[in-house]
Amino acid sequence: MNTTTALTADVLVVGFGKGGKTAAHALTDTGKRVILVEQSDEMYGGTCPNVGCVPTKMLVHYSGSRRLEDEAQEFFANSIEGVRALTSAFRAGNFASLDGKDTATVITGTASFVDPHTVSVGSGEDRITITAPIILINTGSEPILPDAPGAAGSRYRVTSTDLIKKDALPEHLVIIGGGYLGLEFASIYRHFGSQVTILEAADRLLPKEDADVAEVVAGILTGDGIELVTGARVTSVEDADSGARIAYEKDGETHVVETAAFLAATGRRPATDGLGLAAAGVETTARGAIVVDEKLRTSQPHIFALGDVNGGPQFTYISLDDARIVLDQLLGDGSRSTTDRVAVPRTLFITPPLATIGLTEAEARAEGRNIKVARENVADIVAMPRAYTVEETRGVMKFILDADTDQVLGGAILSIDAQEVINVLALAMRQGVTASELKRAIYTHPSSTEAFNEVFDKIVA
């Protein structure tokens, strides 16, 4: 006879992502009984340390350190082994640090709601039900499969997760989609030695960024030997013995590219399939995202959704901030919300990285703002010798300024250390520091931040 184990907790967390684990740790520290359910033992800690930020940025580092005399396949295999070692350590550490607490339990299995307060994990004799008055959902997102005939079922299609687990470097990698994921993998694999082709449906790369910045990005990628095809609509994928034949239309003509592997980097969607949200009375959008208010409460006030699953920006640090908001509802005064977020930066980890924040020039002009634009190519910034000391002078810095208040409205930093410099700019924007103050500030030397001393004086429009 099948039996079911019934467990109860003060808080149930579904998904071991950044937001979920951060909240779980904080709640257990107050003495609350927390049960966290994660469907895969390969994902303790969430996407970031296992298949996202940590392994991909480690590959950025490895690929950039390859010497001409390094044999490509051997160097790549050694790099992947290094990635595996680190992600395995992080995964084990994430599990032990939470499950090792007296009031926390990690259960591996797929959770599905039975009712608004209960989930079921597993089936048959292994079935467990967990009931809690507070539930946090942090199941993340999953890749969107391309809709071109033959693409989804192709045996040559790989995901970003597949790529970072394979120790064989593809001779040729075709990437469908020129968004953040696609461009990062294009840069990584080109530097490792693969031939890389990007098929992007839009007329240019990074259509949400200013055209002049996107043009510099495109120049860097093509300069590295990446074949960039914009305005390319993939129409079909056909498998052959030697690889996939990808057909695409451009300018009214059909072209075909053959490859042994292709990455579909056409976006991600909230991972809600199989959660049984209807049984919990939790509303979702047409895209499957869980509907939340500014406090991250769902249509069931005792259920919160954190991270990618709620349809917000797909960044680990947003998931972390989601945890802060939820913890403020559960342990604080409840005043914190998503409306508190201003000047949130983002980084595209190509080489060199592109970090952006706030309004673009096009957006500011569309809003009718009275603006000034400060812009300078990295190679021309005299106040930034660091670019020359590390032999990376490609890129551009561009800042959008309010001509009436001297406040920084936005910026794009395409340069060495951009992922760090953007955090200084973000803090300045949040605190109302003016462009003139940034220009006159004292910075260490040689550093990338000291470019502010010069670039804010280079008014071009």
All residues at 6 or more sequence positions from 171 whose CB lies less than 8 Å from its CB, including other chains: 194, 195, 260
Sign of the CA dihedral with 205 first, then 209, 210, and 214 last:
negative
Question: Catalytic: 445?
Answer: yes
Q: What is the DSSP string of 32-43?
A: --EEEEES-TT-
The CA–CA distances, whole Å, from 400 to 290, 429, 456 equal 34, 12, 10
Which position among 61, 117, 191, 445 bears the catalytic label? 445
The CA–CA distances, whole Å, from 98 to 95, 213, 253 equal 6, 43, 56
Report the C-alpha gap between 196 and 270 in whole angstroms: 28
Report the C-alpha gap between 129 and 278 in whole angstroms: 17
Report the C-alpha gap between 132 and 222 in whole angstroms: 54
Nearest residue to 308 via CA among 319, 298, 295: 319
All residues at 6 or more sequence positions from 224 whose CB lies less than 8 Å from its CB, including other chains: 187, 190, 191, 351
DSSP class of residue 126?
G
The set of catalytic residues is 445
